[in-house]
A = this chain, B = another copy of it.
């Protein structure tokens, strides 16, 4: 049975080791379960607790979750499961870091969100951000969004690990 301990991370693990545990646990959780809400809710929890087991700056992640295609409006994202403070409900493809990832289908690794044209300041505490598209059948169906309360919160290791996780989500979930 699924157990809360799957989101307990040992202290002293490296970021790569934490991402490996997140991936392993996500894969186990997806076994026999393709409901996207359920799967993304648990992955948001894995990401949140994973980052908070790490040292600075990953420990300063202040939002981890998902936006998905808004079924009620084309070219718009709508809030999905997340952990952190209350978030913007909808984001147009033409707006901010999330919109750029959805529009281009490419990961956005932003060292300083205040330098990003059109950044949406849902939370003034967020200083850096990484947004990774979830692509299914050649179409962006969701994005992974992680914010950090420090500048330069993310690097190429985060990009590689989250792109791998996004591919797993796309393969394992029905949107």
Chain A residues within CB distance 8 Å of chain B? 1-8, 25, 29, 33, 35, 37-38, 41-42, 45-46, 49, 63, 65, 68, 70-72, 78-90, 120, 122-125
B42 touches A79 (CB 8 A): yes
Other A-B pairs beyond A2-B89, A49-B85, 5, CB < 8 Å: A2-B87, A5-B123, A35-B71, A41-B79, A42-B79
User: Contact partner of A89 among B8, B29, B70, B120, CB < 8 A?
Assistant: B29
A3 touches B86 (CB 8 A): yes
Known: A38-B78, A38-B79, A72-B35. A7 touches B85 (CB 8 A): yes
A49 to B65, CA, bound (A): 16
Closest 6 CB pairs of A and B: A4-B123, A4-B85, A7-B86, A38-B79, A7-B85, A81-B81
B37 touches A87 (CB 8 A): no
Known: A41-B79, A65-B41. A86 touches B6 (CB 8 A): yes
Chosen A-B contacts, 16 in total, with CB atoms closer than 8 Å, are A2-B86, A3-B122, A4-B63, A4-B84, A4-B86, A4-B123, A4-B125, A7-B85, A29-B89, A33-B90, A37-B78, A38-B89, A38-B90, A41-B79, A45-B83, A45-B87
